[in-house]
């Protein structure tokens, strides 16, 4: 029996680790996203979907990943809180939980201890299966001691439902207001919630989950690393730069993941804009030795 099947069988029969197939919020999110089919179409709803997708993907890629997980730049405590709150509204738990698991992944990438490796297990497990497992629901505090000192981050991780609720209420209020004052837009509070939260959140789930699954299976390898991390242009396009995963695994400390101008990395350019505005600073980038390594063709 393949390894994933044995893990799944163990999880389903173990009281502590069983997969929460029936009650998982992720399953409910997919079901409720179908509600968009019954609330009708409007361009206002499409705009809401695009805005909540773009803003939250940036909060996850630039915030949860490059800032909280890798400390690739510096920012104020206020903007740190904003990144944490907006990223948590994506319903992927809080920044401390997210960063702790990601740091664990880098330490054990594609090894037996890696909790979401498609090489050790399979693509389904790496993409979404591990998220459904109760065994990985707690925070590994020893891995995020630098974040644990901020009470506001501990608060967000403990009450991670609050950013989710705040986004739902905001969308409902905007939709109800537009319906009342601009009925010609043919939108409503419920429609905005279905498109701007549920449908958008499912899209955000799967594009960000592709970094765990797809970019360890298909794509090109510029660098020889001790894992199967790969560069994928289309994952980079959907995730604003996260698809340059082999680059990232070679030098995780960089706030820039696309090494060259043709490797589109929208999250990095967003950070550069924020740097010019004084919101973030000390952006780390690839050192010259990494570019030299890439230039001599140290790849597989």
Tens digit of pLDDT for each residue in 230-253?
Answer: 999 999 999 999 999 999 999 999
For the chain, give the percent of residues with pLDDT over 70.
89
Is the pLDDT confidence value at 167 over 70? yes
Classify burial at 269, counting beta carbons within 10 Å of its beta carbon; exposed 0-12, middle 13-18, buried 19 or more: middle
Quick one: which H or E segment has residue 25? Answer: helix 25-33
Token couple for 210? 């592709």
User: Do the domain assignments include residue 177?
Assistant: yes
**Which range among 13-27, 149-163, 210-224, 261-275 shows the weakest confidence by mean pLDDT?**
13-27
Domain total of the chain: 1
User: Do the domain assignments include residue 291?
Assistant: no
Residue 197: per-residue pLDDT: 97
What per-residue string of b and e applies to 106-116 under the rule 16 or more CB within 10 Å gives b?
A: eeebbeeebbb
User: Do the domain assignments include residue 142?
Assistant: yes
Is the pLDDT confidence value at 48 over 60? yes
Token couple for 119? 């090489």
Distance CA 142, CA 232 (A): 32
User: Do the domain assignments include residue 56?
Assistant: yes
Token couple for 266? 């929208």
Instruction: From 245, 240, 193, select the one nearest 63 (Cα to Cα).
Output: 240
Residue 132: per-residue pLDDT: 78
User: Do the domain assignments include residue 281?
Assistant: no
User: Do the domain assignments include residue 259?
Assistant: no
User: Do the domain assignments include residue 257?
Assistant: no
Q: Which regions of 111-179 does DSSP assign to beta strands (E)?
A: none
Among left, alpha and beta (phi > 0; psi -120 to 50; other), residue 117 is beta
**Which range among 30-39, 164-173, 216-225, 289-298 shows the weakest confidence by mean pLDDT?**
289-298
**Inter-residue contact 166 to 87 (CB < 8 Å):** no
Is the pLDDT confidence value at 267 over 90? yes
pLDDT (average), residues 256-266: 95
Residue 4: per-residue pLDDT: 44
Is the pLDDT confidence value at 271 over 50? yes
Is the pLDDT confidence value at 8 over 80? no
From the centroid of its chain, how far is CA 183? 35
Average pLDDT along the chain = 89
Q: How many residues does the chain have?
A: 300
Is the pLDDT confidence value at 93 over 50? yes
pLDDT higher for 119 or 150? 150
User: Strand, helix or coil at 188?
Assistant: coil
User: Strand, helix or coil at 17?
Assistant: coil
Is the pLDDT confidence value at 18 over 50? no
Per the structure, the complete domain to which residue 188 belongs is given by: 23-221
Backbone angles phi, psi at 158, to 5 degrees: -75, -40
User: Do the domain assignments include residue 137?
Assistant: yes
Backbone angles phi, psi at 109, to 5 degrees: -55, 120
Residue 250: per-residue pLDDT: 94
């Amino acid at each position: 029996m393949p390894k994933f099947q044995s893990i799944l069988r163990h999880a389903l029969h173990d009281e502590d680790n069983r997969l929460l197939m029936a009650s998982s919020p992720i399953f409910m999110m997919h079901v409720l996203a179908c509600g968009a089919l019954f609330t009708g179409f409007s361009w206002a709803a499409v705009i809401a979907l695009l805005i909540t997708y773009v803003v939250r993907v940036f909060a996850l890629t630039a915030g949860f990943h490059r800032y909280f997980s890798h400390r690739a730049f510096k920012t104020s405590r206020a903007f740190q809180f904003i990144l944490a709150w907006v990223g948590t509204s994506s319903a992927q738990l809080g920044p401390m939980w997210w960063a702790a698991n990601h740091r664990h992944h880098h330490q054990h990438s594609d090894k037996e201890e890696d909790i979401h490796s498609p090489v050790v297990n399979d693509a389904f497990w790496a993409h979404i299966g591990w998220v459904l497992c109760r065994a990985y629901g707690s925070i590994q505090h020893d891995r995020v001691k630098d974040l644990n000192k901020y009470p506001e981050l501990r608060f967000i991780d403990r009450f991670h439902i609050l950013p989710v609720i705040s986004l739902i209420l905001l969308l409902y209020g905007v939709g109800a207001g537009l319906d009342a004052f601009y009925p010609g837009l043919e939108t409503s509070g419920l429609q905005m919630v279905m498109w701007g939260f549920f449908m958008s959140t499912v899209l955000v789930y799967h594009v960000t989950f592709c970094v765990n699954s797809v970019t360890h299976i298909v794509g090109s390898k510029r660098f020889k690393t001790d894992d199967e991390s790969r560069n994928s242009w289309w994952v980079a396009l959907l995730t604003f730069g996260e698809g340059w995963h082999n680059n990232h695994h070679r030098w995780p400390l960089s706030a820039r993941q696309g090494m060259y101008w043709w490797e589109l990395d929208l999250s990095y350019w967003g950070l550069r804009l924020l740097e010019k505005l004084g919101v973030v600073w000390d952006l780390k980038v690839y050192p010259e030795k990494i570019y030299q390594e890439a230039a001599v063709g140290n790849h597989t």
